Structure 1
């Protein structure tokens, strides 16, 4: 079964389960005059709509790449997740308004044992649906499915609180319906904001996970002839399509043909192991001239003394033009980047005035 088929099948299960649960809750809420249960039913219907959006998004994301979108339509799934988050937020806001009205003008709430049994069954159904949907979301790397599964598990907890309120009403004759509706609404709103934040992070671009960055760099450096891997950057074009770049350090003694072969081998290795399209930039490294290597180590030590400097790489000494160039990776806490570069340049100029310096500030893109 393909990824899209799994998502569609899970979405269909979600639609059927949520519609069935909504019917049960509407019946119980109507008979008991419970706004909390009725709001739960509305939330189930919004969950069913979320499943519809997930299915449509999965289908659209499968469209083949074209001239206008050479990397495909994978990001449509992010838009689907965004719409789901919007639906959850709308449901939460609507529920909050109705709950406040219920607190101001409370209605008499009546429960019976059969009604409580139906609510308990609904809780069990939501727990099963949430676990099932979330597991399929993780399997397919579908943010929309993961969000839907998490939302279903939240719903189970919320409905459990409704059940406790009903028990309190039966035993102590205390009407907590409106107040519980407020709590339910706030939980829904919090979940919606979390989903929206996660999706926005995907659209804006996230830092490569330390585990993945470590694995990719290790794979790059495992290619014979590669002396180091730096500036790893990945961009996502859907849950299963990533492209990016990396700088690889190679001996300056290699010919252009040898450099080309190595770069191609690195790109092929990363694609085979991770399915990532990776472009390689080149840093030439002196591997034999001990004087140049000693100067490189000295310059690196000077730059690394400064607060906020995380790494120095790509250092190249052009003796004919007396130009030394290198990259400085700085922490995001460094605000005065120009000042940092100026201070490093000034100290190096005092130590070795015979050289000119070109220092490129680099972002801390990955671990």
Structure 2
């Protein structure tokens, strides 16, 4: 077993352990809160117990998602099952939404038809005790989730912290009721319900973003590019594209710029070194490395490079200019440009740049390739 496989197994084991802790703690809290809620006729405490049932479900789903994501690749899923973790995070988010909507409905009912609430010292103590437990559980689960970049754990931890907020509001409402005879429980419950619903929507959208393919963190892109440039002979790294197949599971491709004097045998060794280095250092497998050749034999071309660089980058929306190569024998000029997503008419901009270059160098055929902004 290599180092990467060991890290994946350790990560999965940590998620399973954290989820199991959450399940056992919530089972304990459900029994206590449900008992207190029935004895005191408090809908808020009963809803608290229901919330803990949803926490048990969310922790169980997180556990199942972790076990699913660590399954080995097979014929039907050659890139593994890592994205299953995002599906479990979406499910947990839906549970949070359900809890928030249910709480809102019950709180509104309580406002319309208030009932007599009774609190005892033991019930207040249990509520306080559950607050302490949920705060520690929530902070612990979120901390582990952020460390492991496990969205389901972060969602479960967030859910636990919201439970602590709900319980705190119940406790505060109980104290106000006992001291002043004013019942605020339903109103506070309504307000907190909206906060829970908002959190559920945010977690759901974040999970959807991961599945749809959101932009990879810029710091990771920069580190990988810097590592690639450490190999001798590489003058530029462009269009690094990483495809996410689960937390910390990336497969990618990249373009590198090398001198036109480098032979095929040296390029082969260079590519193998890059793939091995990136896999060892970041656990990312580069499935394709494309080559850009740069002119090194003719100083006249260096001046052409500078002139055309000024032309291309002078247009609004051009973020980068690279892969420049001139063939004096064939009378061709080729280069790539990366355009900002704000450019509405990419074909028009492409045509205008081509016309500007053609005007300066009328005897050449101009080939321009426009790329999407994946790593800037």
TM-score of the superposed pair, with normalisation by structure 2: 0.94
Q: Displaced runs of 4+ in structure 1, greater than 3 A?
A: none
What displacement does 1:147 show? 1.2
Between the aligned partners of 2:284 and 2:238, the Cα distance in structure 1 is 16
| Contact 2:259-2:296 at 8 Å conserved across structures | yes
Deviation at 1:150, TM superposition (A): 1.8
Q: Is the 8 A contact 2:169 2:189 kept in 1?
A: no
Name the counterpart of 2:32: 24
User: What is the correspondence of 1:290-301 to structure 2 with a 5 Å cutoff?
Assistant: 290-301=299-310
Pick aligned residue for 2:144 from 136, 161, 165: 136
CA distance in 1, matches of 2:331, 2:179: 88
Aligned to 1:283: 292
Match of 2:358 among 346, 349, 353: 349
Distance 1:298 1:186 in 2: 58
The equivalent residue for 1:358 is: 367
**Mapping of residues 73-92 of structure 1, within 5 Å:** 73-92=81-100
Q: Structure 2: how far apart are the matches of 1:313 and 1:210? A: 20
What is the aligned partner in structure 2 of residue 319 from structure 1?
Answer: 328
Structure-2 separation of matches of 1:180 and 1:28: 20
SS of equivalent residue, structure 1 residue 30: helix
The residue aligned with 1:118 is 126
Q: Which residue of 1 aligns with 2:76?
A: 68
Which of 325, 336, 339 pairs up with 1:330? 339
Q: Secondary structure, in 3 states, of the residue corresponding to 2:86?
A: helix
Q: Which residue of 2 aligns with 1:54?
A: 62
Residue 335 of structure 1: SS of its match in structure 2? coil
* Contact 1:36–1:162 (Cα < 8 Å) also in 2: yes
Q: Which runs of 5+ in 2 are unaligned?
A: 1-8
Q: 2:214 aligns with which of 200, 206, 217?
A: 206
TM-score by length of 1: 0.96
Q: Residues of 2 paired with 1:219 and 1:203: CA distance?
A: 27
The answer as to 2:43 corresponding to 1:39 is: no
Displacement of 1:236: 1.0
Distance between the aligned counterparts of 1:156 and 1:341, measured in 2? 56
